[in-house]
Each structure stands twice: as C-alpha cells, then as structure tokens.
Amino acid sequence: MEESEEQKSDSTADRRSCVGESFRLHMVTWNVATADPPDDVSSLLDLSSCKKPDLFVVGLQEVYSGPLRFISDIAFDDPWSQQFMSTLAPQGYFKVSSIRMQGLLLLFFSKMDHVPFIRDIQATYTRTGVFGYWGNKGAVSIRLSFYGHMLCFLNCHLAAHMKYATERVDEFEYILDTQTFDSPNAQRVLDHRLVFWFGDLNFRIQDHGMHFVRSCINDRTFHLLWSKDQLTAMKKKEAILREFHEGPLDFQPTYKFDLNSDTYDSRPYRTWFGFNGKKRKPAWTDRILWRLGPEDTRPEEESDGSSGKSAAGDREFPLMIRQESYASDMAYGISDHKPVTATFTLELKKMYETPLVRLYAEGDWSADMDAMVVYSPLQPFRSSSWDWIGLYKVGFCSVSDYITFTWVKDDEVAFNEELTQLYVSKEEIPVLGGECVLCYYSSTLGCLIGISEPFKVHQSNIALEEGLVTEQINELDKATAS
C-alpha cells in the first residue's frame, strides 16, 4: 500500500487551515452472516473512550432476511437495530435514520444536541444481485446535511469470489451512477462534500499462496500483503477508486473464520457438486474508505432549511477529515467475518448555529388539564400541513417513539408573526407524568428541526387516587393473608 496514495488521510484539507469545531464520527461495518446479534455490542462502539463520538454509523451485511423474519422486521425494528438502539439510547444518542434492503442494513445515530442541525435526510438503495432484481447484493445509502455540510454514507455488499475483482468495480460504478437524491446540488453520491464507502467489498488477496498469507498474519507483517490486495491493485487502474482514501491495513484480514473462533477457515466448504476441500484464503473483504470532494461542491439552498448559507462555497466553510483509528474487533465470533471499526475527526465550520424552530411547553402540564405548546421559527423553512410536534419521554431513541403528537396546522389556537400556540388535549398527556421534551418534525426535510428543553409532566390526580387505592388494596390483602 503506497504511502503517497493510501495514507493521505487528510487529503487537500490537511493543507488548509480549518477554523471550526471538531466532531467525532465512529463507524462499524460487519457481515453478520445471518446471525442474531450478540448480547453486548458496546466494545464495537468506542463508548469507553474519554471523548465519546458525536455520530455513529453502523453498516451491516447479510442480516437474516428469511420470509417470516423479514415480514416482522417491516412492522418492527429488526433485532440488530434494537440492539444498537438499546445500547446507544441510554448514552444520549438518537437514531436519525435507517434503511434496510434485504440483508443490507444502515443505521445513523447522533448525540441529541446535534439532531436539530442534521437536515435534508434521504435514504435509497440499489440492487445488483441476480441481474439487478434481487437485493442480496448491492448498496444502501443515507445522505444528510450536518451543520450545512453534505455527507453521504454508502454501505455496499459486492460480488464474491477471487476472480470477480473487475465485476466488483463495475458494480460500484453502477451504484454511483444509479443512486440519485431529490436535491438540486447533491443529486448523486459523488456530489456530496464527504462520502464514506464501506461494507463487505469482497476484494481478496491475489497471487500469494495460502502458506505465505498465513505466515504474514502470524508474524503481523501485514504490509507484505498490501501489494496483492485487489482493491489496492485496482486503484492503479481505476480513476474513480483513486479518489477514495483508506488508512493502512494494520489489522489482520477479517475473512474467513471458523465460527466462534479466531481460526481461519479450516473446514471444507460446500459447492453445487458436494464438498470442496480447499480452504478460503484470508482477505480484507471488509473495508471503510472516504472521499473528500472538491471545494466547489455547494450546500443546499437556505430557503429549504437544509443549510444556513446558499452559495458561499466551501472555502468560507471548510471541512477537514482525519482518521484516528482503523481496526478489526476479534472479540466477536458469531460470523465468519470479523467486524471492522474506524474513528474519524471531522473539523468544520458550521454554516448555521441556531435551530430552525424554538418551542416550549407553556405552563404546568398534567393529564388533569389541556395544555399548550408554543413555537416560533428562527429561520425561514418550508412548512407543511404534515408538520407535527411530538411529546417524548427524555431518553427517546427514534422519531417514532412519541407519546402523542399534534398537527401544527390543524391544532393552532393563536399565532402572530413571532409565536404560535398549539392545543394539546389532556386525554393525550400521560397520567403518570415524567421528564419530557417537545420536538418539531418537518415532513419536508424529513427530520426534527427543533427540540425543547426538558420539562416535567406532573402526575395527574387520577393517577394519585388510583395509586392510593392500589396501596390500600395491597395492605388489605396483606392483612387478610396474615
């Protein structure tokens, strides 16, 4: 792996002063081979570091998608999503977006503080399996504006087997050509300021024999294998691949392992004609790469609420990326792949620092009386009759976790140029109370654009009376039993 090409982690941005703030991004890619999630995924998420990540991106391949499971996953979050959400929500993270295409799953999480500044969220997918009609191979992507900077995350599962290196590149180019977004300035993947390309890319180690590859792994002389890595070799031929950077592969190849072990493939594998005694050669199939686009990439227009500036250009609002870590996690054995993680520092100048909407709960709230929500736009944005404000318990982990909601246009009580009041029926307020927040959801932008400060919903008199009655019944039962 050449120093001049593969280890330029900061690209053009490294030579440019970037007066701004730093944000930590942690990424995971893992081919889970249809296994259910382990009981603990915390070691994958860098949660023990002194500075916890601001953003998490998790890309999985070969998530189990049998007919019964897939149908249930349409109605409910799949077990992998549930596991990551249950791990990250108590730490103060929110699931901003997700997309599933059969076995491909992509999840994007953020600290709650950043959520009102993540806008213009869109997700899409591309099938490449079985002539493009089957989704066992292909890509899923999530694009968004983060403080005005356009980011795109592309999770791929490309064609398998040693001899299909060229086909893998063709699939990648097909994905780049066909994935489009409803945006005037970032319609395609490569139009975004920063693109991450990751997943089970399935590139193998060519030419070297099994004995030499395993000797290099045992001796941890990984650099002796880099020149025969297919992705590294294809970069010399394909201009589009040279635009993507990758940190050094200073971790052992992540494929193929015996299940529940650190032992590389030791068993014959099944073919159409029976068993083949040949073992699979280890390879770095699981990768995370990135591309920092040219400086003339423009953010979204201010009028649609996705950016604070319309045509200032990236020179005024620079973005720098630096990779802090790139490693495999050998602790997990449920799959024949080991997960790969990477941590990045994004240093950027924000294009906006205020949310689009400010909102708060007026007066005391309880289920004993009707309540009022007050909101005011802080910046112009395209409102819609489908916008709504939801009531959430503190610690909620996705936009669908609301206790109740009210339509912004339908439930207006009073408004002027600065403030709008909305009515909330007492029947919709939880009788047990608790710490809550209000969130404004923009259907046009597909995201939350304002979050209130936490406030207390008081326990209702009905709940207090019912609690007292329950306590008296329990005491009577105890007395009777004695």
Residue 430 belongs to a domain with what CATH number? 2.60.40.2840
Of 103-112, 132-141, 208-217, 297-306, least confident by mean pLDDT is: 297-306
Give which of 443, 397, 445, 450 is closest to 107, Cα–Cα.
397
Residues 89/82, Cβ–Cβ less than 8 Å: no
Q: Are 246 and 377 found together in one domain?
A: no
Residues 321/290, Cβ–Cβ less than 8 Å: yes
Give which of 315, 317, 413, 401 is closest to 112, Cα–Cα.
401
Burial 380-415 (b: 16+ CB within 10 A, else e): ebebeeebbbbbbeebbbbbebbeebbebeebeeee
Looking at the domain assignment, is residue 326 inside a domain? yes
User: Which one is predicted more confidently, 461 or 231?
Assistant: 231
Looking at the domain assignment, is residue 473 inside a domain? no
Looking at the domain assignment, is residue 476 inside a domain? no
Residues 29/198, Cβ–Cβ less than 8 Å: yes
Q: Are 245 and 318 found together in one domain?
A: yes
410-442 pLDDT, tens per residue? 988 888 878 999 999 999 999 888 999 999 999
Give which of 224, 231, 232, 230 is closest to 250, Cα–Cα.
224
Tokens of 300: 């979204």
* 393 SS3 class: strand
Tokens of 152: 């795109």
* Domain that residue 394 falls in: 357-462
To which H or E segment does residue 455 belong? strand 455-458
User: CA dist 409 to 306, 374, 430, 431, 450, Å?
Assistant: 21, 13, 23, 26, 16
Residue 96 has pLDDT above 70, yes or no: yes
> In the chain, how many domains are there?
2
Give which of 56, 95, 145, 93 is closest to 400, Cα–Cα.
95
Q: Are 272 and 408 found together in one domain?
A: no
Looking at the domain assignment, is residue 472 inside a domain? no
Looking at the domain assignment, is residue 363 inside a domain? yes
451-479 pLDDT, tens per residue? 999 999 998 887 666 665 555 556 666 65
User: What CATH number is given to the structural domain containing 18?
Assistant: 3.60.10.10
Name the domain boundary from 291, 317, 348.
348
**How much is the average pLDDT of 374-398?**
94
310-357 pLDDT, tens per residue? 344 567 899 999 999 999 999 999 999 999 999 999 999 999 999 999
The pTM assigned to this predicted structure is 0.88
Looking at the domain assignment, is residue 469 inside a domain? no
